[in-house]
Structure 1
Amino acid sequence: MGSSSGQSSGSYDLSFKILLIGDSGAGKSSLLVSLISASAEDLAPTIGVDFKIKFLTVGGKRLKLTIWDTVYDVTRRETFTNLSTVWAKEVELYSTNRDCVKMLVGNKVDRDSERAVSREEGMDLAKDLGCMFLECSAKTRKKRGAML
């Protein structure tokens, strides 16, 4: 069901839950694997829900990230459209923490010639939803951020 980043699960100072939501095939699992390991492999679509755990140290504090895999694909407009019509509403409906930090992530920027959603559109939606914004490629580990 879940797996660890390979570090000892001993004690930690802070724990965070990270939810990756979006359409099937948008690259959520690939982003997750890219974060947890140095690998950037092509994965089959996830059936159901999976999660992974990563431990890291920031500013002398040991953090535990629980990252759930239940993002939009910059090459598929419908995954972007569904963020505002489906997924953002789900987060608002089921979130138990109204102060949670939200980030809109556009994946697959390594396929720029196939792009169907512009960076500006992503930034505009992130602003409308009150989210931070990041574009990346789980495959190449390239990222371009904009904190809104």
Structure 2
Amino acid sequence: MAGQRQGGGGEQSPPLLVKIVMAGESCVGKTSIVRRYTDPGSPPAGAPTSSYLATIGIDFKVKAVTFNDTRVKLQIWDTAGQERFHTLSTSYFRGAQGFVLVYDITNLDSFQSITSWMRDIHEKAGDEVDVILLGNKCDKESERVVPKQKGEKLAWEHGIPFFETSAKDNVNIEEAFSVLTKYILEKNSCLLYDLDVVALNESKKRTCCAF
């Protein structure tokens, strides 16, 4: 696991910047999930998540977290799900370390589109990025059309974590982002270790050549 890296004089290194992108069809609750995570006081208790307007184009929020002594700044991009914004939305997939892929448990079409969104993620961001799948609006159990087992099976087929969430009732939002951040940092810790080894070897070479 990555730890804090100290600079000269014991100063802390700057936070690790991590780009996370929300993906999924329109009106599945991506914006509500982001707002609930980055600002736990919003929406007010009991406020319907549908009161949020559909994202027009792109928006992003920033949340600073500390994970196992590693300071991280999460830059969470909220993309529009409407077809007319698809090219714009997927253009922001490049350079992302993680994706939160969302469907609405009361909307079968949003679930059936997940495979297409996964394909977009792999095409634009590569096969090594970390993805989690969220079945949102689990507070609307009486309106459910996508069984939880279907979400679990789809996630298993893609080898990614799965959560059923509710932005309205704040169910599994924090847990989902924590798992995604953990996986991203595990990969990043290997990268940081490799860079430290290279730097150490270069330092040794310069020291040897000085004599």
Q: Decide which of 145, 148, 165 is 1:116's aligned counterpart.
A: 145
The aligned counterpart of 2:111 is 80
Q: Is 1:100 the counterpart of 2:129 in the alignment?
A: yes
Structure 1 stretches of 5 or more lacking a match?
A: 1-10
Q: How much has 1:17 moved relative to structure 2?
A: 1.2
Please state how far the C-alpha of 1:12 moved relative to its aligned partner.
Answer: 3.5
Determine the structure 2 residue equivalent to 1:4. none
Which protein has the bigger strand share? 1
For residues 68 and 131 of structure 1, the distance between their equivalents in structure 2, rounded to whole angstroms, comes to 20
| Residue 28 of structure 1 pairs with residue 11 of structure 2 | no
SS at match of 1:47: coil
Offset at 1:126?
0.5
Deviation for aligned residue 1:127: 1.0
Asked if the contact 1:55/1:63 (under 8 Å) is kept, the reply is: yes
Aligned position for 1:63: 72
Shift of 1:35: 0.2
Q: What SS does the corresponding residue of 1:87 show, helix, strand or coil?
A: helix
* Distance in 2, Cα, partners of 1:12 & 1:120: 42
Dislocated runs of 4+, deviation >3 Å:
144-147
Give 3-state SS (helix, strand or coil) of 1:131's partner.
coil
TM-score calculated relative to the size of structure 2: 0.60
- Match for 1:18 among 17, 20, 23? 20
What are the ranges of 5 or more consecutive residues in structure 2 without an aligned counterpart?
A: 1-12, 80-101, 180-211
Rate the CA distance shift 1:117–1:50 in 2: closer, same or farther, 3 A: same
* Number of the residue aligned with 1:7: none
Q: Which residue is equivalent to 1:8? A: none
- C-alpha displacement of 1:61: 1.6
Among all aligned residue pairs of Structure 1 and Structure 2, give the percentage whose two residues are the same amino acid.
37
CA distance in 1, matches of 2:75, 2:14: 12
Q: Which range moves more in the overlay, 48-57 or 38-47? A: 38-47
Task: Tell me the distance in 1 between the aligned counterparts of 2:55 and 2:24.
Answer: 12
Deviations 1:24-47 (A, max 9, x none): 000000000000012135311001
Distance across 1 between alignment mates of 2:124 and 2:151: 23
Cα deviations across residues 77-116 of structure 1 (Å, max 9, x unaligned)?
A: 00000011x21111011015x3211101110000011011
What do you get for the CA RMSD once the two structures are aligned? 2.1
Q: How many correspondences in the alignment?
A: 136
